Amino acid sequence: MNNKKIVVHAPATVANMVCGFDILGFAVNDPYDIMSISFSDHAGITIINEDEYNLPTNPEKNVAGAALLALMEEAPEVKGFELRIKKQIKPGSGVGSSAASSAGAVVAANALLNNKFSKEDLVRFAMNGEKLASGVKHADNIAPCIYGGVTLIRSIFPLDIVQLNAPTLYVTIVHPQIEVRTADARSILKQQIQLKDAIKQWGNIAGLVAGLQKEDYDLIGRSLEDVLIEPIRSILIPGFDLVKQKSKEAAALGGGISGSGPSIFMLSKSESTAKEVEQVMHEVFENIGLAHHTYVTTINQHGVKIIS
Ligand code: HSE
């Protein structure tokens, strides 16, 4: 048996990017999960957790396992994998924890297999992890996690992933220590929308994509508006409106709920603004007495990184 071992860092991601529900997302440099994979003589997938989260080790119930099982269906030469996971992205935080596990696992496995699969194949496999986590195959965390930068998922079936320009942007994230399950945050959404709201939303999506391509920061800021999802989901996040208002007063370009929450992210043009925004976030959550973690980071341009 080939006893090669691949170690990867799988980054956190911010899905939706405010107006692009299920179609836009970007990767960040911090936090990230550390994972390693090797071939195993035991048939199937052996998962070893090296963190405190007690996630399932049954591959059918583990998002990384579900992604690897999908890959193995198209790699019949593989008898088994041993996967070690050290999560640093807290599950249920809204910054793509399940996507990092799924994407990290398949990128690492693909490196063991001498890059048998394309990135698009890997997204397809990893989406099985998202299906397990949230009940739906969505790629707005998986695609940026694998490709890096900002990605547009123009279509899921068939997959059509477009890498967008990612200008220099600083990202401040606050993770209030409450858990919002993606499946729950999806189940409360309206299934029908009004045409006038749709018009606003697609104006913002087009504006955001144009702003990214042209590196027009004002246009990016103006387009970070969500009239469909945020008004419903923000009710689940104490302090949300105040964080948004005060972050903008501190000169953030804008931001909103990260994925399905509870994390909130803000984009800024400079590191000093991003740090002021972090301060504002601390103040809001200290005032309401809610434990929280913050990150000041940047857009990750490379996606899952093979370390060794
Ligand atoms: N687009 C998904 C949602 C991302 O908002 O439900 C979940 O992380």
Please write the tens of the pLDDT for every residue from 151-193: 999 999 999 999 999 999 999 999 999 989 888 999 999 999 9
* pLDDT at position 3: 85
CA–CA distance, 37 with 5 (Å, rounded to integer): 6
Residue 168's φ and ψ, nearest 5 degrees, are -60, 120
Q: What is the CATH classification number for the domain harbouring 111?
A: 3.30.230.10
* pLDDT at position 94: 95
Residue stretches of the chain with pLDDT short of 70: 1
Structure-block tokens of residue 198: 């749709």
Are residues 14 and 86 located together in one domain of the fold? Answer: yes
Helix (H/G/I), strand (E/B), else coil: 285: helix
Q: What is the CATH classification number for the domain harbouring 215?
A: 3.30.70.890
The pTM for the full model equals: 0.97
Are residues 246 and 194 located together in one domain of the fold? Answer: yes
* pLDDT at position 26: 98
Are residues 36 and 133 located together in one domain of the fold? Answer: yes
* pLDDT at position 1: 63
Atom number in ligand 1 closest to CA 233:
5
CA–CA distance, 100 with 35 (Å, rounded to integer): 10
Q: What are 175's strand-pairing partners?
A: 293
CA–CA distance, 79 with 127 (Å, rounded to integer): 22
Are residues 158 and 10 located together in one domain of the fold? Answer: yes
* pLDDT at position 13: 98
In terms of residue numbers, what domain contains 141?
5-164+301-306
Q: Which residues line ligand 1 (CB under 6 A)?
A: 15-16, 21-22, 138, 140-141, 182, 185-186, 259-260
Centroid of ligand 1 to alpha carbon of 94 (angstroms): 8
